[in-house]
Structure 1
Amino acid sequence: MLFSETYRKIAVDGLWNNNIVFGQNLALCPLLAVTGTATNGLGMGLATLVVITASNGLISLTRHLIPSEIRIPIFVLLIATLVTLVDILMNAWAHELYKVLGLFIALIVTNCALLGRAEAFASKQPVKLAVWDGFMMGMGFTLVLVVLGAAREISATGTLFANASLLLGNSFKFLEVTVIPHYSGFLLMALPPGGFIMLAFIIVAKRLLDQKLARKKGLLTENLALAD
């Protein structure tokens, strides 16, 4: 059942078609603020992934108990509770990363994508579908954070996942790579304007790829129609 058409569509939407950044243009503030390195992007993405997955499941589980008139404040309260738990746990178990991400962990509660999925999907669907939707939306967001962070880090300093072992633990040391040895650096990419520039390039690349795939699909459909 996990790989049924419904689950597949939710996965494709979360990762690509309806991606929080690419499809919905949401969460741009933390996206641009914390993606100076791939490590920071990964940490922020995983925190958001946990919150959106848990909030979707919790809201779906309690959807019949929540009065429709006050559902939005309750959704916000549930999300805020989960964000607070994640904030405390990160402070305790990943303190170096917590210090780097700072206020942006708490600001996950203001991420419109979480409330949007709660209202549009989780409050109307069974728990399994809601959890899967939250997980795939979180994975899609994490993917964009890591890709953007990696692109900015490589162009700014020539490294990839720098300080991963310090921020995420020694088990992540294998991620640390020097991509361009003896690189003098490109400071702009490490600054907020560099985030806007690199995000624009990534969005353009995605749209060009979508157009190419659409043309291929159109040609395939046309050839099949001619064959019939």
Structure 2
Amino acid sequence: MTDTPALGEVARNGLWSNNPALVQLLGLCPLLAVSSTVVNALGLALATLLVLLGSNLAVSLIRHQVTPTVRLPAFVMIIAAFVTCAELLMAAYTFELYRILGIFIPLIVTNCAILGRAEAFASRQPLLPSATDGLMTGLGFGAVLVLLGALRELFGQGTLFTGMDLLLGPAAAGWGITVFPDLDFLFLVLPPGAFFATGLLIALKNVIDDRLERRRRAREPDTPRESRRVRVTGTIR
């Protein structure tokens, strides 16, 4: 029986310390393929969040009833059921965006980040920590998706929030902003640009973590020399 972690620690791990995209490097296929614009990234982020939250809740509820021999197949079936729900919802309410995202919605079933959280966390923890883990991991993955989409859209096409009406309806049709007119940097729009931008985000996170660690060490009081001194008793022969 594993100890139940604090909810604050679970949230911090999902959002930052153990972010699936920047630390675990899971789910990179949809991350790199879909994040050409903000609206595409946001659509996939919401679908992934729904599947993560639902699958973690379901796995936590049945964790005592599923035997180890059928555990992984049962988890995959649960994830597939929630992916089907997300796919049907998108097809019903955001059909044009659903067509743009294409195969990457059904491929959420194979996202290692979702199955990994079900196996490593939800199958061992009660309902509330599992729900928190699913929510925060989904938000962490979605934040990277949206940030990557914003970077690629801004510096690749010179715009932001174009096509938001595909996700949010006609009310969001005028949300598009042209920041750099006549900009067409094809490198960032294509998959190599996605790899490059993702590497920059990972490097930025590592720099931030390094600075936070240095500040934490600087705030710690110096340990007195007497407490650091090692005293050896006895004689070595």
TM-score bin, normalised by smaller chain: over 0.9
Corresponding position: 1:38 with 2:38 = yes
Matches of 1:115 and 1:175, distance apart in 2: 35
Task: Verify the 8 A CA contact 2:15 2:140 in the aligned structure 1.
Answer: yes
Q: Deviations over 1:42-89 (max 9, x none)?
A: 110110000000000011011111112210000001101110111111
Amino acid at match of 1:18: N
Sort the Cα spacing of 1:175 and 1:65 in 2 relative to 1 into closer, same or farther, 3 A: farther
Tell me the secondary structure at the aligned position of residue 55 of structure 1.
helix
Residues matched between the structures, number: 220
Task: Verify the 8 A CA contact 2:51 2:82 in the aligned structure 1.
Answer: yes
> Could you list the runs of 5+ residues in structure 1 that have no partner in the other structure?
none
Q: Who is 1:124 aligned against?
A: 124
Q: Deviations over 1:185-221 (max 9, x none)?
A: 2111100011001111111111111101111111011
Q: Who is 1:218 aligned against?
A: 217
Task: Verify the 8 A CA contact 2:156 2:185 in the aligned structure 1.
Answer: yes
Amino acid at match of 2:111: N
Matches of 1:136 and 1:100, distance apart in 2: 26
Task: Verify the 8 A CA contact 2:27 2:111 in the aligned structure 1.
Answer: yes
Q: Who is 1:196 aligned against?
A: 195
Q: Who is 2:207 aligned against?
A: 208
Amino acid at match of 2:109: V
After the TM superposition, which residues 132-151 of structure 1 pair with which residues of structure 2 at under 5 Å, given as runs?
A: 132-151=132-151
TM-score by length of 2: 0.89
CA-CA distance at 1:175 after TM superposition = 4.2
Matched-pair identity in %: 46
Tell me the secondary structure at the aligned position of residue 124 of structure 1.
coil
Task: Verify the 8 A CA contact 1:27 1:112 in the aligned structure 2.
Answer: yes
Q: Rg: which structure is higher?
A: 2
Matches of 2:196 and 2:179, distance apart in 1: 21
Cα RMSD between the aligned structures? Answer: 1.5
Matches of 2:197 and 2:33, distance apart in 1: 13
Q: Who is 1:105 aligned against?
A: 105
TM-score by length of 1: 0.92
Q: Deviations over 1:83-111 (max 9, x none)?
A: 01111111111101101111000000000
After the TM superposition, which residues 9-24 of structure 1 pair with which residues of structure 2 at under 5 Å, given as runs?
A: 9-24=9-24
CA-CA distance at 1:172 after TM superposition = 3.6
Tell me the secondary structure at the aligned position of residue 222 of structure 1.
coil
Task: Verify the 8 A CA contact 1:97 1:168 in the aligned structure 2.
Answer: no
Matches of 1:117 and 1:98, distance apart in 2: 25
Amino acid at match of 2:70: I
Matches of 1:57 and 1:119, distance apart in 2: 12
User: Would you tell me which structure has more helix in proportion to its own residues?
Assistant: 1
